Structure 1
């Protein structure tokens, strides 16, 4: 297929213009996407770090509250009497301690229940928050609970406090996490353990604060067993897993996405530009390794956002760039076509002349070939005519010779004919004579 000069110039314009434009567009898009990815990961990391710090601080304050209450004069003065069966001041001491607990629950608003255990692990004073119906009863034995055993083992340490991990209550009705502290008298004698049941609503609400993370961004806590410690912001589990409420997933449903597993394995913070979350959706995330509780069990604080939303701006810009590039290509094509028309016309005409000359040359060559072939045919015909002429000449000579012979024979025949005619006259005379004789004979016969 023959490509004209104008078409070639248009193609050259396109190649020269499109290749740099495409390279710049692709490079810019990739750079922008990488930049947005880095920015989003830094934002997620900052969100995770801030919330991790808040969680650590908040639980540290809860331990501080327990330590503070254990050192109040009321607890130090009344604790021994409240925890000693048969002591005449036992009921009064219990009431004093419970009043102090009630005031603290109301002021702080972060505790569902408080109780005081004597050195045997028996509840001797107890107070529940208003509306909390799952409180413990006086006289309940808690000597096997870790919050008692850990403090009892450190009974000589006046400042010892213990924060337990999230766990399901013994009756399976609610999630509990406790802060406990050893209690001593003014004289330093160990008299029991003070236990706070922490309301974890603050942690769950903190995880659901996702300002700046868009509609798909979320943060949540997972424990070392890969179980949920806070709730998801989405209704995935209630719709796909048939849970009655999202709260039912806590300490029940497990999640083992790549970022969480790697964070626990490395025991360090890490970031992921993309990995499937528990819904199977590609997310970018920041994963923070935490050790808040005193039982040595780790948590992972996750801050994630859907990749599609995180990269909305560069994705939109990419499509805009593609549209612009298509428009630019169209403009380049039109411009190249106009330029080629204005500046390539002489070349096009020259190309036509060259083409015509080439065609004429080809035609002349063809004619020369045909003439050469015709010349050969003429030569052959001339030779044949010469041969034929020679044959005709010979035949003519032969005919002339034959005519001469025929003429001679005709002359001879003519002479013979004259002789015959003369003889015929003689015969006629004889016949007349015979006829006369016959007539005379007939007459004689009559």
Structure 2
């Protein structure tokens, strides 16, 4: 065999061996790196959103605690109560109190971003609301709303700061949180409770920010009853307190576990999910999930695999064609000797 032919064959074998070894080696090296990179991204988003939600609740606890000690609240609550008991909302005394304190309390409503602020005296009478709605004038011990969210937070709020879970507000046609705090005078005598409505949009603004999560990424909250506490990105109908999610990720998070893994979501689609309990919220037991469809998350892996196959096929084809034509040309150039 001619030396040149030997070199060509050896080169072909070397290139083939390189492709067989380097292709899988490159793939096995890049795939874990890509997977870890996206998992770490989901974890980062999860921790940022978790901190935002925790800070939101801490701020709201602090806001209502401070509001309950505000001199205007301490002065006005017993005056509203006395005027209400004397002649009701249409009485001249009540109107006078409302004219003086109403604008100041409306300022607090705008300052803290509340939907409404209520005063409830120790007898359970809702004696004031910045906005007049169905609760005004009712009794939260014996009235129609005693077993509603406002009645429950009032009873808890007589002794400490209390926040409700999400509840529907007919007045605003949206979901709200209700927070309550006891109000004491300077002698530490209990005057009643201040109750504040916080709109759900304050939480939704955190969850709707899905930048960097592609077309299938989603951030959502689930309560300990397995019902969503947020809106679904993929369903048009209301899912808050309506859609039950009993997936592996939710179960793990409600058991107190924090992790990122591939599970099936509430659409029964495989997703890469980063989940964690939302601890330190005091009055609610929620979990947070950040996820993206596996198909989208690992699309770069499929792209790498496809590129390696194409590159290998091209190099192998070029090498094979080159060797074939070189050998053929060499064979034609060898003179035939008579037998």
Please report the TM-score for the alignment, with normalisation by the length of structure 1: 0.64
How far apart are residue 174 of structure 1 and its match?
Answer: 4.7
- The SS at the match of 1:284 is strand
Q: Are 1:271 and 2:260 matched, yes or no?
A: yes
The 2-side partners of 1:140 and 1:178 are apart by 17
Q: Are 1:105 and 2:148 matched, yes or no?
A: no
Partner of 2:54: 56
The 1-side partners of 2:331 and 2:15 are apart by 19
- CA 255–7 in structure 1, closer or farther in 2 if over 3 Å, else same: farther
**What does residue range 299-318 of structure 1 map to in structure 2 within 5 Å?**
299-318=286-305
Partner of 1:414: none
**What does residue range 11-410 of structure 1 map to in structure 2 within 5 Å?**
16-84=14-82, 85-86=85-86, 92-108=96-112, 110-128=113-131, 135-143=133-141, 144=146, 145-152=151-158, 154=159, 160-168=160-168, 174-234=174-234, 237-238=235-236, 246=237, 248-265=238-255, 267-272=256-261, 274-291=262-279, 293-295=281-283, 297-337=284-324
The 1-side partners of 2:188 and 2:52 are apart by 33
Is this contact kept in 2: 1:221–1:302, CA < 8 A? yes
Looking at secondary structure, tell me which structure has more helix per residue. Answer: 1
How far apart are residue 17 of structure 1 and its match?
Answer: 3.3
Q: Name which one, 1 or 2, has greater alpha-carbon Rg.
A: 1
- RMSD (Å) for aligned C-alpha atoms: 3.3
How far apart are residue 26 of structure 1 and its match?
Answer: 2.0
How far apart are residue 47 of structure 1 and its match?
Answer: 0.9
- CA 83–17 in structure 1, closer or farther in 2 if over 3 Å, else same: same
How far apart are residue 291 of structure 1 and its match?
Answer: 3.2
- CA 136–19 in structure 1, closer or farther in 2 if over 3 Å, else same: farther
Looking at secondary structure, tell me which structure has more strand per residue. Answer: 2
Is this contact kept in 1: 2:175–2:199, CA < 8 A? no
Once the two structures are superposed, residues 360-386 of structure 1 have per-residue CA deviations (whole angstroms, 9 ceiling, x without a partner) of xxxxxxxxxxxxxxxxxxxxxxxxxxx
The 1-side partners of 2:326 and 2:54 are apart by 71
Runs (5+) with no aligned partner, structure 1: 1-5, 155-159, 239-245, 350-355, 357-446
Aligned length, in residue pairs: 320
Is this contact kept in 2: 1:66–1:196, CA < 8 A? yes
The 1-side partners of 2:294 and 2:259 are apart by 17
- The SS at the match of 1:286 is strand
Once the two structures are superposed, residues 273-304 of structure 1 have per-residue CA deviations (whole angstroms, 9 ceiling, x without a partner) of x2222223222121121135433x42111111
Runs (5+) with no aligned partner, structure 2: none
The 1-side partners of 2:70 and 2:272 are apart by 48
How far apart are residue 335 of structure 1 and its match?
Answer: 3.8
The 2-side partners of 1:190 and 1:201 are apart by 32
How far apart are residue 249 of structure 1 and its match?
Answer: 1.9
- The SS at the match of 1:105 is helix
How far apart are residue 66 of structure 1 and its match?
Answer: 1.1
Partner of 1:368: none
Is this contact kept in 2: 1:10–1:337, CA < 8 A? no
Please report the TM-score for the alignment, with normalisation by the length of structure 2: 0.82
The 2-side partners of 1:106 and 1:52 are apart by 26
- CA 60–249 in structure 1, closer or farther in 2 if over 3 Å, else same: same
- The SS at the match of 2:130 is strand
